[in-house]
């Protein structure tokens, strides 16, 4: 007996303290910004062509009922990182120069990966806030991505349309000259600095609403900035910069499992495709920026293939929220759209409680492991944490996520039965094929962005199986279903 006991004990101890990482696949989540359900051509709902995403989608699982958690950016990103509904966190709204909205004690996707022996990185847009007091860009800023689980971060702090227009690497502004410190304000301009509002003659892109603060590279931004001249990014080179950073990162870490969160800036405003993509779509800068993003994804795919990493890397592609055309600049997105339909056959778009706010392109790919299929199960980005944890052997589970590892990575089994959807702090509810939108005050359509908000005086109830475009409100004629939906919705919203 004794002879067997000791090796067994050693074996048990080893498995608890040092986790084996040999067989663990790498993970890359490619997260686009404002890419619509109809913007990816494999979905066959629009006319824009995205051949590189299609190649991945057609050889992996292409989800037709895949959701972001919110119809705007920061809340969706918060939910993806934490597996927690954004409406539970009062600070999970669209951020502008805000502090970090993830508690550093909270479990996150990258932290889970780290516990499993992974190396972790974010390259691209962050938009979850930085620091815990007034931000000083001239010093190392903490907490940020590195304090919530990323070993390496190379980020745009908020969005491309907000100051400061600088990259940050591991908490520090890249290329900052200490003799030319950065000052940032979202309240008032710095004396003597031109703005989009007062100096239209300096602009290469005109603002439509908001976006009339400091001018960088001829583009007016949200907020005011002074100094940091050497650190300012080049907008047209941003896609190449993030792509090159991802390749560099992979080349450095590829011998051990890694998680890379590659968060593209496209096609969020300002849309500034590199000149080699200008005119590529025939739809103006928005279409061209999507073609550019598609190219980046193709380049990354090729890089993985060339380095024999494809077989052991799970690739996920999705978007943080639905599409918008005019989001604050005159950039011909509306005029040159032609017959393309960024929202596909769905109603609404970015900011909206209707389906196109949160139902987004949603693709999982794992060469040789995920058999190609179109999957109609309901899934959400909020489920990534639990599902990936389950796949790689972690017991960590989040508050609101479900373990859909079989659905995501095997194309087997059932997805969610119900899901709360969020748009600008308002919530809707999907259960089965039914969607409930509670009454909300406010305009039915935002005049500036020209998107239906989902606000209405009465309850709205839609059946997506019969009416995917949400044209027929069935609330009045289906009092029992309405009651059932309200009860299920209240149970989650009012639960702890």
Tell me the chain's radius of gyration from C-alpha atoms: 23
Residues 6+ apart with CB under 8 A from 276: none
Residue nearest to Ca ion (CB): 73
Report the nearest approach of ligand NG6 to the CB of residue 268 (Å): 5
* Positive/negative CA dihedral, 244, 249, 251, 254: negative
Report the nearest approach of Ca ion to the CB of residue 274 (Å): 21
Question: Which option in ligand NG6, Ca ion, none does residue 151 bind, with CB closer than 5 to 8 A by kind?
Answer: none
* Positive/negative CA dihedral, 347, 81, 35, 233: positive
Report yes or no: 356 and 322 within 8 Å, Cβ to Cβ: yes
Question: Which option in Ca ion, ligand NG6, none does residue 210 bind, with CB closer than 5 to 8 A by kind?
Answer: ligand NG6
Nearer Cβ to ligand NG6 (61/159): 159
Nearer Cβ to ligand NG6 (36/257): 36
Question: Which option in Ca ion, ligand NG6, none does residue 245 bind, with CB closer than 5 to 8 A by kind?
Answer: none
Question: Which option in ligand NG6, Ca ion, none does residue 468 bind, with CB closer than 5 to 8 A by kind?
Answer: none
Nearer Cβ to ligand NG6 (314/428): 428
Nearer Cβ to Ca ion (151/422): 422
CA distances 168 to 124, 152, 155, Å, are 10, 11, 5
Residue nearest to ligand NG6 (CB): 210
Place of tokens 């502090």: 99
Contact residues toward Ca ion (CB under 5 A) are 33-34, 73, 320-321
Contact residues toward ligand NG6 (CB under 6 A) are 33-34, 72-73, 94, 127, 159, 161, 209-211, 222, 268-269, 321, 327-328
Report the nearest approach of ligand NG6 to the CB of residue 455 (Å): 17
Question: Which option in Ca ion, ligand NG6, none does residue 222 bind, with CB closer than 5 to 8 A by kind?
Answer: ligand NG6
Report the nearest approach of ligand NG6 to the CB of residue 464 (Å): 24
Report the nearest approach of ligand NG6 to the CB of residue 97 (Å): 12
User: How buried is 154 (Cβ within 10 angstroms: 0-12 exposed, 13-18 middle, 19+ buried)?
Assistant: buried
Nearer Cβ to Ca ion (288/320): 320
Residues 6+ apart with CB under 8 A from 51: 41, 294, 298
Distance CA 4, CA 6 (A): 6
Report the nearest approach of ligand NG6 to the CB of residue 262 (Å): 17
Residues 6+ apart with CB under 8 A from 362: 62, 63, 66, 67, 317, 318, 379, 381
Residues 6+ apart with CB under 8 A from 308: none
Report the nearest approach of ligand NG6 to the CB of residue 212 (Å): 9
DSSP assignment, residue 148? T
């Amino acid at each position: 007996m004794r002879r067997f006991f000791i090796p067994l004990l050693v074996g048990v101890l080893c498995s608890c303290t040092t986790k084996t990482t040999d067989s663990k696949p790498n993970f890359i989540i490619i997260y686009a910004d404002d890419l619509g359900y109809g913007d990816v051509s494999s979905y066959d709902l629009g006319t824009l062509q995205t051949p590189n995403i299609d190649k991945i989608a057609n050889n992996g699982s292409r989800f037709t009922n895949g959701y972001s958690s919110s119809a705007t950016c920061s809340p969706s990103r918060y939910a993806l990182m934490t597996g927690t509904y954004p409406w539970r966190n009062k600070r999970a709204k669209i951020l502008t120069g805000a502090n970090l909205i993830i508690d550093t004690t909270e479990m996150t996707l990258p932290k889970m990966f780290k516990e499993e022996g992974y190396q972790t990185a974010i390259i691209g847009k962050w938009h979850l806030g930085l620091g815990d007091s007034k931000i000083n860009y001239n010093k190392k800023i903490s907490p940020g991505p590195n304090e919530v689980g990323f070993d390496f971060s190379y980020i745009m702090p908020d969005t491309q349309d907000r100051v400061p227009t600088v990259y940050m690497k591991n908490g520090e502004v890249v290329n900052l000259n200490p003799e030319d410190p950065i000052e940032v304000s979202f309240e008032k301009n710095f004396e003597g600095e031109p703005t989009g509002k007062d100096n239209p003659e300096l602009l290469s892109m005109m603002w439509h609403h908001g976006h009339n603060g400091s001018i960088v590279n001829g583009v007016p931004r949200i907020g005011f900035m002074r100094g940091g001249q050497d650190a300012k990014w080049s907008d047209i080179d941003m896609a190449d910069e993030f792509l090159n950073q991802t390749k560099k990162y992979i080349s450095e870490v590829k011998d051990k499992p890694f998680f890379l969160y590659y968060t593209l800036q496209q096609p969020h405003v300002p849309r500034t495709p590199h000149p080699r993509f200008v005119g590529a779509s025939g739809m103006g800068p928005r279409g061209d920026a999507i073609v550019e993003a598609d190219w980046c994804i193709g380049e990354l795919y090729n890089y993985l293939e060339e380095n024999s990493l494809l077989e052991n890397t799970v690739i996920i592609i999705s978007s943080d929220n639905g599409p918008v055309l005019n989001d604050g600049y005159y950039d011909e997105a509306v005029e040159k759209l032609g017959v393309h339909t960024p929202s596909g056959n769905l109603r609404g778009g970015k900011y909206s409680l209707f389906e196109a706010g949160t139902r987004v392109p949603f693709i999982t790919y794992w060469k040789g492991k995920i058999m190609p299929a179109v999957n109609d199960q309901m899934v959400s980005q909020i489920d990534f944490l639990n599902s990936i944890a389950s796949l790689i052997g972690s017991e960590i589970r989040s508050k609101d996520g479900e373990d859909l590892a079989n659905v995501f990575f095997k194309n087997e089994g059932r997805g969610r039965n119900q899901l709360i959807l969020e748009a600008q702090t308002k919530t809707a509810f999907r259960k089965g094929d039914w969607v409930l939108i509670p009454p909300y005050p406010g305009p039915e359509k935002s005049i500036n962005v020209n998107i239906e908000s989902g606000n209405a005086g009465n309850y709205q109830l839609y059946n997506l199986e019969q009416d995917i475009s949400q044209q027929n409100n069935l609330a009045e004629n289906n009092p029992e279903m309405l009651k059932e939906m309200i009860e299920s919705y209240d149970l989650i919203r009012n639960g702890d």
